[in-house]
Amino acid sequence: MPGRLKANAMDKRTIREIEVGGKRVLVRVDFNVPMDRDTGAVSDDSRIQAALPTVRYLLSQGARVALCSHLGRPKGKPDPGLSLEPVARRLQELLGRPVTLVREYVETPADAIWDAAGPGDVLMLENIRFHPQEERNEPGFAKTLSRLADVYVNDAFGTAHRAHASTEGVAHHLPAVAGFLMEQELTFLGSAMADPKRPLASVVGGAKVSDKLALLQHMLDRVDALLIGGGMAATFFKGRGHEIGASLVEETMVESARELETLAKAKGVTLLLPVDVVVAERFHAEAPARTVAVAEVPPGWTIMDIGPKTQSLFAGELSKCKTVVWNGPMGVFEMPRFSAGTRSVAESLAGADATTIVGGGSTAQAVHELGLTDRMTHVSTGGGASLELLEGKSLPGVEALMDRQRRGVKNTR
């Protein structure tokens, strides 16, 4: 519901509203970063950079900081290839102060862990998902983590939709507040849907209608215009009776697509689908390709991108808007020949006189690769979390944080 989104953005306490000086602070960050397979080093440190304001603020206030994150999917057991050691090295370079990797923090007494660090050192706990209790959100494990600190800060929006021990469980044992990145994500994504400048448009892409059905349904009650591209458009075309060739179509979603179009019309929402598409003889970067009207997709060919007429149509609609939320690429942008549609939407938003908010995951990746991140109002660091928040769902990692009206927290340690 819109009210819930607004409450999340406005009513959770942040690190500005709690005393941290001289205290031990456990910070959940999202350092699940890409790694270079050849060198073993961090290949994209944008998620580390995003957490720096929170870490630096805590240090400036005299706090002792321990960071907690996952990396990859180790399936509850140690995996040397998924150690956070390279991440700790990169963070040390960015902070300009020592970062100590703590490999064992479950059996070791908390005082011993902190005493092993030098003055001003930042601690980084080894990959939290090396422990199977993390993803099971076992109460005993959450309590063990809580004994490391006096205050808990969640700055990992990208994992806030997961009820894990380090994202939700530990918040029940310590005063728990949002970091600056979490606050920023909730403010932009929450206010975009709760109290937007209008007209408000949502651009939705991606491969499957089923992945975005809840988002599309939620948006119809809130937006003035809904623009649909990407592979999911084929299911809408099928609902209109068009030939879609070898394109992916979700037969079980065809009726849902028809219903969405009918509902949009009833609500007075402008719903735009592509009018032309780029098709390829097969799903391959070098396959023969051409642009056709949506009703003229050749049998056996695959829709790979929106066409130039659609790019112009979408750009014209977006130019009227004061707020735009974008989630999902317009085509197979990973293949340069089929990235024009995604690039066109990105450039439209980059040049718009509007609040422009980009959902995480592949959309954020596309904007980053196009060098347009700095020209958007906000690019989310969360994929699944941003999608669930835009769908109107509550996020366990946010719900567990202290509300502003609360003055304390029951300490069960």
Q: Is the dihedral of CA 332, 334, 335, 341 positive or negative?
A: positive
Catalytic residues: 47, 208, 361, 384
Give all strands (DSSP E) within 318-392, no chain letters: 323-327, 355-358, 378-379
Rounded to the nearest angstrom, the gap between the alpha carbon of residue 376 and the centroid of all alpha carbons in its chain is: 15
Say if residues 12 and 186 touch (Cβ distance below 8 Å).
yes
Cα separation, 16 vs 180, in Å, equals 9
Compute φ and ψ for 148, nearest 5 degrees.
Answer: -80, -15
Give all strands (DSSP E) within 34-84, no chain letters: 64-68
Report cis status (omega within 30 of 0) of the bond before 196: no
- Residue for token pair 């306490």: 13
Strand partners, 99: 122
| Burial of residue 149, with CB atoms counted within 10 A of its CB: 0-12 exposed, 13-18 middle, 19 or more buried | buried
Q: Per-block average pLDDT, block size 10, for the chain (413 residues)? A: 41 94 96 90 92 97 96 95 97 96 95 87 97 97 97 95 96 97 90 85 92 89 95 94 92 94 96 98 96 96 97 97 95 95 97 91 90 93 84 90 67 38
In the β-sheet with 151-154, what is the strand arrangement from edge to edge?
Answer: 99-102, 122-125, 64-68, 24-28, 151-154, 176-178
The encoded tokens of residue 295 equal: 């009703």
DSSP 137-201: T-HHHHHHHHTT-SEEEE--GGGTTS--TTTTGGGGTS-EEE-HHHHHHHHHHHHHHHS--SSEE
Under 8 Å CB-to-CB from 27, ≥6 apart: which residues?
51, 54, 55, 58, 65, 66, 67, 68, 152, 153, 154, 155, 179
Which fold is adopted by the domain 2-185+395-399? Answer: Rossmann fold (3.40.50)
Say if residues 48 and 91 touch (Cβ distance below 8 Å).
yes
- CATH annotation of 198-353: 3.40.50.1260
Say if residues 319 and 352 touch (Cβ distance below 8 Å).
yes
Residue 275: DSSP 8-state: S
Domain boundary assignment for the chain = 2-185+395-399, 198-353
Give the total residue count for the chain.
413
Secondary structure element (H or E) that encloses residue 363, with its range: helix 362-369
pLDDT at 211: 86
